[in-house]
Chain A
Amino acid sequence: MAMAWIWTIIICFSLAYGAFSGNITQVSAAAAEGSAAAVKLCIEILGITCLWSGVMEVMKRAGIADKLASAFRPLLSRLFPSVSKTGEAMRAISANVSANLLGLGNAATPLGIRAAEEMAKTVGGGTTNVATDDLCMLVVINTASIQLIPATVAAVRAAAGAAAPFDILPAVWVTSAASVTMGVLAAKVLSRVWRRRATQAHNLGRAR
């Protein structure tokens, strides 16, 4: 439903602002151009996105995704201190991270959900509706996901006539690394803030 609101608001706002600023003929023309541009964009980026989707499938079948997952396990088990290093949850977390890295979005989400379910199982047998620190960390890592080859963006750049569509890779890596690091730090710091708040609320409740 959110998208229905966003779309309607954008359309109505464009109409109102176009009438107000005297650009209404351009808005009318744009209403016809946008849909054609979408089809053109899809066709233009289809080649590169499909090719890399194929390359990632080769990586997956050759076991590169699994290798990557086990390489990340030591680092990840430090981020999830209460998840057993060898358990099913940890396996799902590292597979989720490696699928994200390879841009296997379709595989990453079910793996992440399985990790979340496994973690809920070990905490309170799935009866709680409050997010644990581990689940918050998993979500933060997934929202700040690092992708090694952002093929869709490269394809859009190629369609727009970039000299070297993939030359943004180092910048994307640096940026993703910065954002994921910041997300992890924020999660660690905020978990303390929230715990202190919870204890205070608890003590306050007892004082009364």
Chain B
Amino acid sequence: MTNTLFALVIPAILALVALIGLRRRVDVFAALTDGAADGLRVMLKILPSLIALLTAVYMLRASGATDALARLCAPLFNLVGIPPETAPLILIRPISGGGALAVGSELIVTYGADSRIGRTAAIMLGSTETTFYTIAVYFGAAKIRKTRYAIPAALIADLTGFTVAAVTARLFW
């Protein structure tokens, strides 16, 4: 029942957005293709760094270091209920968006998109940001050198996101 209901959401959003667009006299098709072209440019910009980063991530996985890291983090992570396999993702997420996409997609492919680890990784990716990059951009633009409590507060938010991602992945499925 919830599945059928949920299956409605995506097609319904598409239909609704198109209808609202038409009512507001927007050339929906042109907007759609312009936006898609933007998406294409963004992906083209991401690809070079993704090539470099996935090479690194694949090598790290093949060396056995990611598994070792997971084993190392297991006692702490199990305590809060986060799958230890997601440790590399948690480490890279606040630093590099491309790196997080590389590590996250590797986790999703390796463990399966519908596995608990795969879901947790996907929820973590979808609900957090590249914290340090964002902080650097904003404070750089505002010429701020004393960031006071911004970094601790942002990291508290990230840690909450990682923990709750594991909880929702466990509770919702």
- Sorting the interface of chain A by its residue count into under 10, 10 to 19, 20 to 34 or 35 or more gives 35 or more
Do B138 and A116 have beta carbons less than 8 Å apart?
yes
Known contacts A10-B56, A113-B138, A156-B108; is A136 also within 8 Å of B149 by CB? yes
Do B161 and A178 have beta carbons less than 8 Å apart?
yes
**B residues less than 8 Å from A69 (CB atoms):** none
Known contacts A54-B31, A57-B38, A113-B138; is A14 also within 8 Å of B161 by CB? no
A to B contact number (C-beta, < 8 Å): 338
A176 in the interface, Cβ–Cβ < 8 Å? yes
Known contacts A136-B149, A143-B135; is A17 also within 8 Å of B51 by CB? no
Q: How far is the CA of A142 from the CA of B145 in the complex (A)?
A: 18
Q: Which residue of A lies closest to B7 (CB)?
A: A164
A140 in the interface, Cβ–Cβ < 8 Å? yes
The dominant DSSP class at the B interface is: helix
- Minimum C-beta distance from A166 to chain B (A): 5
Q: Which residue of A lies closest to B91 (CB)?
A: A6
B33 in the interface, Cβ–Cβ < 8 Å? yes
Task: From A31, A55, A106, A194, name the one whose CB has the most chain B CB atoms within 10 angstroms.
Answer: A55
Do A112 and B138 have beta carbons less than 8 Å apart?
yes
Q: How far is the CA of A6 from the CA of B114 in the complex (A)?
A: 30
Known contacts A14-B56, A166-B9; is A179 also within 8 Å of B123 by CB? no
**B residues less than 8 Å from A59 (CB atoms):** 17, 21
Q: A156's contact among B96, B104, B145, by CB below 8 Å, is which? A: B104
Do A170 and B172 have beta carbons less than 8 Å apart?
yes
Q: How far is the CA of A109 from the CA of B57 in the complex (A)?
A: 28
Task: From B39, B61, B95, name the one whose CB has the most chain A CB atoms within 10 angstroms.
Answer: B39
Q: How far is the CA of A3 from the CA of B53 in the complex (A)?
A: 10
Q: 17 A-B pairs, CB-CB below 8 angstroms?
A: A31-B58, A33-B58, A34-B58, A38-B51, A38-B55, A42-B43, A57-B34, A62-B17, A113-B138, A139-B150, A156-B105, A160-B118, A166-B10, A169-B9, A179-B164, A186-B157, A194-B149
